[in-house]
Amino acid sequence: MLDLPLPIVIGSDGLPLITYNIESRPEDLLMVGHCDGIACSSATWGRLLPLGITTRAKGSAVVIGADGLPVIAYKGSGPRLTIAHCDNIECTQMSSVEVEPTNSAAYFISMTIGTDGLPIASYWARTEIDLKVAHCSDATCSEATITTLDAEGSVGADTSIVINPGGLLIISYYDDTSKNLKVGHCDDAAYSTFTISIVNDDFPEAGPTSIAIGSDGLPVITSPSKVAHCKDVKCSTD
């Protein structure tokens, strides 16, 4: 069984790259597919790494790094957050590092590339039930700085991450304790301090969020039942 939705990115060669999970027994697999042409009528498919029990909520995220090669974040067998740097465009070879320092499982992973050209991933750390951010120290993410963005109650589900026009990080996510849609806006270039805003204080239905920057430079957030257009860069009003 495939784990949907399927993360997709356009590679530096102009061709789509897709990551997906296959639920099977005795182990679940993280797979990658590199399209052989623009129409993707055929593709090169390969197994990256085995995962633990996988559901749609856990998933993976893929971006193209500053070096033009794919970077994939996923829940490793640890089951900590793991980031893999592909050694070629097709991602038939790669190296991976577990960057989460605890044994907390990484769920609801989203990823982007910062203005410093380095990968950044947001995720829900299941053991602590906190929202965390991992900022890689280099292109291969041999090391990462982990920051807890929000730890008030059970927070961090359904994350989505983007860089705003000012070069700062902004993350949308769900607060299961207060039933709120929230946004964390980075206050510094090191992605270490954040301002937390409640976008909607009546959000009883959890579900995937997606955040993007509009042509006016302000965040737009979608959820299963609502769309929020922020009136300032920190989304402090909706």
The string of DSSP codes covering 132-162 is: EEEEESSTT-SSEEEEEEE-SSSEEEEEEEE
Over residues 165-173, the mean pLDDT reads: 90
CB 62 within 8 A of CB 7: yes
pLDDT above 80 for 61: yes
What pLDDT shows up at residue 25? 46
Task: Report the amino acid identity of residue 37.
Answer: G
Q: Please give the model's pTM, rounded to 2 decimal places.
A: 0.86
Kindly tell me if the per-residue pLDDT of 54 is higher than 50: no
Residue 134's CB: how many other CB atoms inside 10 A?
24
Residue 238 has pLDDT above 70, yes or no: no
pLDDT at 128 over 60: yes
The pLDDT, as a whole number, for residue 202 is 63
Maximum distance among all Cα pairs of the chain, rounded to whole angstroms: 49
Q: Are strands 60-64 and 43-51 parallel, antiparallel or unpaired?
A: unpaired
Mean pLDDT score, 88-110: 86
Over 50: is that where the pLDDT of 2 sits? no
Q: Which two tokens stand for residue 117?
A: 């050209």
pLDDT at 58 over 60: no
Domains of the chain in start order, with CATH, are 2-229 (2.115.10.20)
- What is each CA distance from 9 to 71, 107, 119, 181, in whole angstroms? 10, 20, 14, 26
